[in-house]
Structure formats: C-alpha cells, structure tokens
Amino acid sequence: MTTNIADGRAGIDAALVRRLIAAQFPRWSGLPVTPVAVDGWDNRTYRLGDDMTVRLPTADGYVPAVAKENAWLPRLAPHLPVTIPSILATGEPGEGYPFPWSVRGWLPGETAAPERIPDMPGFARQVAGFIRALQRCDATGGPGAGAHSFHRGCSPASYDEETRRCLTALTGRIDTAHAARVWAAALEAPWRGRPVWFHGDIAPGNLLVVDGRLAAVIDFGTAGVGDPACDLVIAWTTFAGDSREAFRRAVAQDEGMWARARGWALWKAMLVLTGALADGDADLAAEHEHVITEVLADR
C-alpha cells in the first residue's frame, strides 16, 4: 500500500512500521507489529514484539518531542516514583515517512479508567506524588516552555484570544460571565516561582495502572520546564469530591497555581465543547460541559 502522510494519522499503519524496522533495525524485523489498544492523536504507537513499542509523530508540530523525550526521559527516570518510557533506539525518516521516530520499552498496565481504580482518593495521592517528584527534578538546561509544549508551562494568556472566542460562541450554553471571571483570575495570578519540570498532559490516557495503582506515566511530548499549573487540570477532568480534595492536599500548591490551573482546564474544555457542538458530537460535548461545570462550581 502506498503511504500517504499528507493527512497526518491516516498514512501511518503497521505495514509502514514493518518497513521502517526492516530498513533501519533489521535485528527486530522478525517481530510482529500490532496497533496498541488505546492510541493517541499526536503520535501513533505500535507494539513491536512483546517488549517494545514504536512511536511515530503524526505531524510536523509533534516532531520536536522526539529529540526532547530521547534526551530527557533517561535523566528524569531515576528520580520519579513510577516507571516512564525507556528509549531503545531512534529512527530516521524513510519509506515515505518524513519524521524521526523512536523505539521504546513496553510498559505493562492499563489506562486509568475509573472502573479500574477501587481507591480513587489513594490514586489521586499517587498522581500528586508523581507531580511533586517531577517538580523536584533538576531543571537545569531543561527545555523552556514554548511552542514544543504547545505553551503548557507558559501563562494561560497564550490562549487568551482563543478563550475569548469560545466565551462568545458559548453564550447561552454555559455561564459565560462566571467563566470570564475564572479566566480573568487565571491571568491575574502570574507564576513567580522558579521554573520546574511539568508533564503537560496529566490525563487518564497517559497514566497506567496495575491492580488499581499508578504504575507508569507515559507521553511526555508536551513536557518542559516552566509553570506546572497545567498539571493540575486532572483535578476537574478526573477527580471529584474526596479524590479531588485528596489530590489538592497532596499536591500542595498555592492559590495562584490553582487559579491558573482552573484557567487551563476552562480553556481546553471550552475549546473542545465549541468544536463538539459544531460537529454535532453530543457525547463529547456533554463530557466537556461537565468539566466546565466542575471548574465553575469549585471555589
């Protein structure tokens, strides 16, 4: 089959991965290549044999993450309480595929769906412990927040224009007056601390559990050094009630951090809600409208 990368994800398939492995890493060419059960959007991931994965960016904007993760994940890994991806090899463009790519070790576990976690407050404390440990890692020379992190780690003001467009589009659908106040509070609480490591996408799909406990954290594509407020968004997207309070206490951040985190959560939820309404995706709209409701109700 002819590989077509023009439309991003659609041009990447198992046949392409087999060709890339055969051409660049022939020692692994006899291993089966199979799609993973839960895949991402920024990258496509395939299992290679029993012990490895192949990860390929889907577009130009995600390419900087390859070199960043290859350089920094081995340095961060010894200082973190759970496993993170290990880099085994870096591939080059080829076989019609235009980007660098990587081979990594396979990590056991399942994504952190609520039904797999019997003790959600305990899990919330484990996630908070990971975030705190990541913040303690030496940030010297680390990649400063910016375009490579899609502005995670920067001020939420990076998305001010987009947020204000969403507020206009969602008038009558959500409490936009309240949402505007939450957004203003996020912009009025600038980060004044020293830059620290942040993950950038602490979400159930990037958290692996074994026996209901956090076992690994994956996808550091938006990681960098800056303001870690973006890593608190999980408080509203995943946690609620006792688990949210457990997370809040364990992660131990100040009120300015929480104000910016609310801004990050609100921006993303409004952006996705606006798109879902335009596309007629009722389930996606309901999911992100719920997040907005949680953010606005949490004072």
How open is the CA angle 11-287-263, to the nearest 5 degrees?
A: 95
What's the rounded Cα separation, in Å, for the pair 206 and 195?
Answer: 23
Which residue from 13, 51, 20 is spatially nearest to 34, judged by alpha carbons?
13
C-alpha span between 150 and 226 (Å, rounded): 12
Q: Determine phi and psi for 87, rounding to 5 degrees.
A: -95, 120
The candidate with the shortest Cα–Cα distance to 219, out of 90, 55, 88, 81, is: 55
Using the structure block, give the residue that is written with the tokens 């890593």: 231
pLDDT at 4: 37
What is the average per-residue pLDDT within 247-274?
A: 98
Q: Report the alpha-carbon distance of residue 253 to residue 255 in Å, rounded.
A: 7
Same domain, 168 and 287: yes
Q: What is the mean pLDDT of residues 53-65?
A: 94
In percent, the amount of the chain with pLDDT more than 70 equals 97
What is the pLDDT, as a whole number, of residue 11?
79
Q: Which CATH number do you get for residue 57?
A: 3.30.200.20
Reply yes or no on whether the pLDDT at 146 is more than 80.
Answer: yes
Asked whether residue 1 is domain-assigned, the answer is no
**Confidence label for 6 from pLDDT (cuts 50, 70 and 90):** very low
The model's pLDDT over 45-55, given as tens digits with 9 standing for 90+, comes to 999 999 999 99
Residue 99 lies inside a defined structural domain of this protein:
yes
* Domain boundary residue, one of 45, 78, 105: 105
CATH code of the domain covering residue 293: 3.90.1200.10
Query: Six-digit token pair at 91?
Result: 């591939």
| Closest by Cα among 280, 279, 276, 299 to 289 | 276
| Same domain, yes or no: 28 and 51 | yes
In angstroms, rounded to a whole number, what is the distance separating the alpha carbons of residues 264 and 270? Answer: 10
pLDDT at residue number 7: 39
In a domain, 68, yes or no: yes
Looking at residue 125, what is its pLDDT? 98
**What pLDDT score was predicted for residue 37?**
77
Residues 88 and 134 in one domain: no
Residue 116 lies in domain: 111-297
- Examine the domain organization and report whether 238 and 147 are in the same domain: yes
Q: What is the average pLDDT score of the chain?
A: 94
Average pLDDT (208-232) is 97
pLDDT (0 to 100) of residue 51: 96
d(CA 111, CA 86): 18
pLDDT value of residue 78 = 98
DSSP label at residue 149: G
In this predicted structure, the answer to whether residue 73 has a pLDDT above a threshold of 90 is yes
Q: Is residue 128 part of a domain?
A: yes
CA 291, CA 282: separation in Å to the nearest integer? 14
pLDDT at 295 over 70: yes
Average pLDDT over residues 173-187: 98
Task: Tell whether 250 is covered by a domain.
Answer: yes
Read off the pLDDT band of 41 (50, 70, 90).
confident
- Do 291 and 155 lie in one domain? The reply is yes
Residues 78 and 202 in one domain: no
250 and 167 inside one domain:
yes
Examine the domain organization and report whether 73 and 146 are in the same domain.
no
Domain boundary among 76, 105, 134: 105
User: pLDDT higher for 42 or 162?
Assistant: 162
User: Are residues 278 and 155 part of one domain?
Assistant: yes
Is the pLDDT assigned to residue 70 strictly greater than 70? yes
Name the band, by pLDDT with cuts 50, 70 and 90, for residue 5.
very low
- Whole-angstrom distance, CA of residue 63 vs CA of residue 58: 8
Q: Give the number of domains in the chain.
A: 2
* pLDDT interval class at 9 (50, 70, 90): low
DSSP string covering 211-222: TTEEEEE---TT
One domain, residues 246 and 190: yes
Q: Phi and psi at residue 185, in whole multiples of 5°? A: -65, -35
Cβ atoms of residues 99 and 93 within 8 Å: yes
Return left, alpha or beta for 280; rule: phi > 0 is left, psi -120 to 50 is alpha, else beta: left
Determine the average pLDDT of the residues in 183-210: 96
β 43-48/33-35 pair status: antiparallel
Structure tokens at 194: 């020293």
